[in-house]
Structures are given as structure tokens and as C-alpha cells.
């Protein structure tokens, strides 16, 4: 199980401060948790706040500036889950 560490919380706060995720949705801190734990990709059903070009670009920009890897964010279809039943 991955934990919401101080490092992940600080990154999540930066995402909110910079408008990558809405400050009204702090539960999206899971993106920061995945990032600090070097998870390479994240699948989501949330097309409004997560799987959308503007939030993804902002997250990539913040991650690059803060020296974190780029996390690939996409829908289940992109990762093959809907077709193969593996997600």
C-alpha cells in the first residue's frame, strides 16, 4: 500500500496551487502519491479533472520543474483494460 507521505502531500498541494487539480478535490492527491513512488502510469475514469489535456500538461510541467518523472495518465481504454478485462 502506498501512503500519503509529507512529500506527496506537498506535491499535491503544489498541483492544487498551480491549478493542475482543483483545490476542491484534495482526494486527487493519489496522483502525487503515484508520482513520488515512481509509478509510471495512472488509469482513471475522471475525464473532467484528471484524464484531460490541461490537467495532464500542468502535472507534467510541475513534475518536470520539481525533478519528478513524467507520469502517464490515461483512461482504461488506453491501457487496454476495457478490452481485455485486466483492469
Mean pLDDT to the nearest integer, 5-23: 95
Mean pLDDT to the nearest integer, 4-28: 93
Mean model confidence pLDDT for the chain? 89
Q: CB atoms < 10 A from the CB of 54, how many?
A: 10
Residue 36 has pLDDT above 90, yes or no: yes
Taken in order 8, 29, 44, 18, the sign of the CA dihedral is: negative
Mean pLDDT to the nearest integer, 58-70: 97
In angstroms, what CA-CA distances link 14 with 35, 45, 71, 74, 79? 13, 23, 16, 21, 27
Residue 49 has pLDDT above 90, yes or no: no
Amino acid at each position: 500500500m502506498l501512503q500519503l507521505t509529507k512529500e506527496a502531500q506537498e506535491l499535491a498541494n503544489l498541483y492544487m496551487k498551480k491549478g493542475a487539480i482543483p483545490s476542491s478535490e484534495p482526494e486527487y492527491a493519489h496522483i502525487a502519491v503515484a508520482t513520488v513512488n515512481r509509478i509510471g502510469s495512472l488509469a482513471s475514469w475522471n475525464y473532467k479533472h484528471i484524464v484531460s489535456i490541461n490537467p495532464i500538461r500542468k502535472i507534467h510541467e510541475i513534475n518536470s520543474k520539481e525533478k519528478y518523472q513524467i507520469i502517464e495518465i490515461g483512461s482504461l481504454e488506453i491501457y487496454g483494460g476495457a478490452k481485455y478485462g485486466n483492469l
